[in-house]
Structure 1
Amino acid sequence: MHLRFVEIFCDVAQRRSFSKGAEAQNVSQSNASQAVSKLEERLGTLLIDRSKRPLELTPAGQMYFEGCREILERFRTIEDRVQAIADRVVGPVRVAAIYSVGLMQMEQTVHRFEQLYPDASLRLDYLHPDQVYQQVLDDKADLGLVSYPRPNSEILSIDWQVQPLVLVVPPQHRLAGQHAVSLSALDGENYIGFTRELTIRREIDRQLKRARVAVQIVREFDNIENIKRAIEAGSGLALLPKPTVWQEISSGTLVAVDVSDASDLVRPLGIIHKRHKQLTTAVRKFIELLQSPSAGLAPVEPVRSISAGKSPAHAAGAASARLTLPQNGHAPGATVSDDGTLIVPRRKRKSRRT
C-alpha cells in the first residue's frame, strides 16, 4: 500500500495537480489527496504546498519526489524482467506525439497493440513538438514521435519514416491532372505556407530558392490541418507530407501531385526516448509495432539508436507545431479530449486502461 501511495504522489508531483495525478492513477481526487496526506503523516513534513496554483513541491517534497522516482523506475525494471521470463508483456506505455503523425494511422496502431498485448496499457497524447521533448525529458512519456528529430546529450532518436513532400492542390486546379510537375510549375502561384519558425517551412523555402521559384504567400499556418482546409477552400496550393493527405486524396477533396525535381524534399520522422532510460518490454514491443508494415506507417530503417548530433535526414528543430483537430479526421467512435489525449473505443478486456 505504501508503494501505491508513492506512485500516486509521484504523478501528482509531476503534473502539479491532484486531479491530473488522480486521473493518471485511475483514482478519485480525494483518494489522491488522502494518499499524499498519509505519506506526509508518515514523514512528519509537508511534501506539497497546497496554497499555490499550480501546486508546488516543498524542498522536502522535491527531495522525496526525486528519490521515489528513481526507486519506482528500478522497481518497474525488475518487474519487467520477471514478467519477461514468463513471456508476458504488461505495464504502461506512455507516448507523446506531434499531431501530424496522423490520427487515423495511430488509432489503427493503438488497436493493433491492444489486440496483441491485452495486459499492457497505452496512453497517447498529442502535443506541440517542444512539449513532446519535455514530456520525454521529464519522464512523463516513455516515447516521443516527432518530425526532424534532434537528438542530444539527453535524448536518443530512432529512425522511423522519411515522408516525401508532394504538391497538394484542389481538384479544380490546373495542375490537378498532372502526374508530376517540377518546382518551376509553382512559380507565381498563390501558396499556403507554414509559419516561418517551423523547420519544414525553412526546408521548403530552401528548395524553392534553389530552384529560383517565387510563390505568392497568401496564408500561413502552424499546422497541417488548417493548411489543408485552406487548399480545399481554393485559397492556394502547398507542399505537404504525402501521408498527411491520404484521407483527403481518398475522398477526392484534394489532389496530390509528385514533384519530379526535388527528391530530397522530405520530412523525416523519429521515435525519441530518454538516453540511458531502460525501456520496458511493453515499450520495446510498441516500437517494434510502429516500425512493422502492419502498423500502416511504413518504416524506412530497422530500429536503432542514433548518437547525439546524427539525426536522420536533417538535424534541426522540430518541424511540426500545435495542430487543431479536423472535423472528421478520425475513424467513427474515436475522440480527442480537451488536453489532446486520443480516446479510442476499446474491445472488452480484463485489464483497465490508464
Structure 2
Amino acid sequence: MQLRNVEIFCDVASRRSFSKAAKAHNVSQSMTSQIVHTLEEHLGTLLIDRSKRPLELTAAGELYYDGCRKLLDTYRRLEDRVRQVENNKVAGRVRVAAIYSVGLLKMDAYVRRAEELYPEVDLRVDYLHPDEVYERVQSDEATLGLVSFPRDGGEFSSISWQEQKMVLVVPAGHRLAGRKSVSSADIAGEDFVAFTSELSVRKQIDRWLKQEHAPVNIVHEFDNIENIKRAVEVGSAVAILPEPAVKREVALGLLDSVRVKDVDWRRPLGIIHRRHKTLSTAANKFVELLHEDPATFPKSGPRPESTNGHKRSKRKKTRV
C-alpha cells in the first residue's frame, strides 16, 4: 500500500468526487478511479458507492477513511520529527484554508516570509467560501482556517488574529461622502447593499443596525466583498464593510469610507483548527508569523516559479 494512494483515497472521500481529488493531486480522473479500485480489490470490499451523487462512502469506506486519516496524520508527524532531529530545522506540511477577504496581498507577504524562514515547510493556502474553510479543517484537508467571526466550540478551537474596523461605504458624490463621521440615524432609510443572509457578517450587521434603530432598504445581496464594492461604486446605495477592504477604492476616489459615531463595529478574524488535534511545530510557527506585522518584514525579491505552494484556489473570488 502506497501512502500517496491513501492520500488520494482520502481526498476522494472528503471531496465526494473523483474529479476534484484528481485535480488536487494533478493526476487524471481515470488514474484516481483506478487507485481506489485497486484499494477495494486489495481489501475485498467496496469503499465508495459510485451510484450516488455526490459519492458516498460505504460502511467499510467510512471505517477505512477514518483509519487512513489517522495513519497519514501520524506518518506526517513522524516525518516532521525526524527531519527536525536530523536537520534541527522546522519542517513539515501546512495546509491553510482562508476566506478571500483576509487580504491577498497581506497573505502573500506572510507566505513569502514563511518560505524565507522555513524553507523545509510545505505550505499552501487555498481561498474558499467560509463553509468550505470549516469543512476543510474538519476533514483534516486543512491544518488551519482563516475566517471572520470564528466559531469556537464543538470540533473547533479559535485563536484570535485581527479585528477590522467596520465603516460605512458610499459612492463618490453621495450625500454622506466627504464627512469624517455620520450617526447611525444618517444610515436609516438608505438603499443598502448587504451580504447574503447565511453569512455570519450579515447576521452581525443586521444586529448592529437593529440595536441602533437604523433600518435600511436592502436592494442587493452578495456573498463577497468585491461584488458589494462594485455595486456601491456604480449605484447610489451604501454598505458596511471592513475598512482595510476599501482602502484602494478610497485612494482612487471611487468610494468613500465614513466612520459611524458612537459605535465600535469590528469584524474579528480568527485562526481555527480542530479542537483535539495538536498543531505541529510548522503550523505553530506559521500561527506565530501571522501575529507579526507584515510591514516589518524585510523586502524580498520576486518569488520564483517553483514555490512551497502558496496556491490560490481557482475558484472565482466570490467569498467573504
The alignment's TM-score, normalised by the length of structure 2, stands at 0.83
Aligned to 2:315: none
Tell me the alpha carbon deviations over residues 132-164 of structure 1, each in whole angstroms, 9 at most, x when there is no partner: 222211212211111111211211000011111
SS in 2 for 1:54: coil
1:142 aligns with 2:149: no
Structure 1 residues 222 and 60, CA gap change in structure 2 (3 angstroms): closer
State the one-letter code of the partner of 2:304. R
The answer to which of 83-92 and 157-166 deviates more is 83-92
SS in 2 for 1:203: helix
Q: CA deviation at 1:353?
A: 7.4
Structure 1 residues 189 and 61, CA gap change in structure 2 (3 angstroms): closer
Aligned to 1:335: none
Tell me the alpha carbon deviations over residues 216-270 of structure 1, each in whole angstroms, 9 at most, x when there is no partner: 433333332222112111321222111111221232211111222112x111111
The answer to which of 77-86 and 143-152 deviates more is 77-86
Aligned to 1:289: 289
Query: CA–CA distance in 1 between the matches of 2:209 and 2:57?
Result: 50
Tell me the alpha carbon deviations over residues 280-307 of structure 1, each in whole angstroms, 9 at most, x when there is no partner: 22222222222210179xxxxxxxxxxx
Q: CA deviation at 1:165?
A: 0.8
Structure 1 residues 82 and 217, CA gap change in structure 2 (3 angstroms): same
Query: CA–CA distance in 1 between the matches of 2:46 and 2:210?
Result: 60
Aligned to 2:166: 165
Q: CA deviation at 1:177?
A: 1.8
1:254 aligns with 2:255: yes
Q: CA deviation at 1:279?
A: 1.6
Structure 1 residues 175 and 51, CA gap change in structure 2 (3 angstroms): closer
Report matched runs for 1:207-286 at 5 Å: 207-263=208-264, 265-286=265-286
- Contact 1:180 / 1:260 at 8 angstroms: preserved in 2? yes
Query: CA–CA distance in 1 between the matches of 2:78 and 2:43?
Result: 26
Report matched runs for 1:303-318 at 5 Å: none
SS in 2 for 1:14: helix
Query: CA–CA distance in 1 between the matches of 2:252 and 2:201?
Result: 26
SS in 2 for 1:131: helix
Query: CA–CA distance in 1 between the matches of 2:309 and 2:241?
Result: 38
Query: CA–CA distance in 1 between the matches of 2:185 and 2:276?
Result: 47
State the one-letter code of the partner of 1:19. S
SS in 1 for 2:172: coil
Gaps of 5+ in 2: 297-301, 312-320
1:43 aligns with 2:43: yes
Tell me the alpha carbon deviations over residues 61-82 of structure 1, each in whole angstroms, 9 at most, x when there is no partner: 3222221211111111122222
Query: CA–CA distance in 1 between the matches of 2:49 and 2:211?
Result: 56
Aligned to 1:10: 10
Q: CA deviation at 1:46?
A: 3.3
State the one-letter code of the partner of 1:105. K
State the one-letter code of the partner of 1:347. P
Tell me the alpha carbon deviations over residues 151-210 of structure 1, each in whole angstroms, 9 at most, x when there is no partner: 112110000111111111122123222222222332443332334444433433433344
Query: CA–CA distance in 1 between the matches of 2:193 and 2:135?
Result: 30
Structure 1 residues 236 and 116, CA gap change in structure 2 (3 angstroms): same
Q: CA deviation at 1:51?
A: 4.4
Structure 1 residues 37 and 208, CA gap change in structure 2 (3 angstroms): closer
SS in 2 for 1:169: strand
Query: CA–CA distance in 2 between the matches of 1:158 and 1:351?
Result: 24
Query: CA–CA distance in 2 between the matches of 1:350 and 1:258?
Result: 40
Aligned to 1:201: 202
Report matched runs for 1:5-84 at 5 Å: 5-84=5-84
- Contact 1:92 / 1:121 at 8 angstroms: preserved in 2? yes
State the one-letter code of the partner of 2:253. G
Aligned to 1:90: 91
- Contact 2:125 / 2:309 at 8 angstroms: preserved in 1? no
- Name the structure where helix makes up a greater proportion of residues: 2
CA RMSD of aligned residues (A): 2.8
Aligned to 1:127: 128
Structure 1 residues 32 and 170, CA gap change in structure 2 (3 angstroms): same
The alignment's TM-score, normalised by the length of structure 1, stands at 0.76
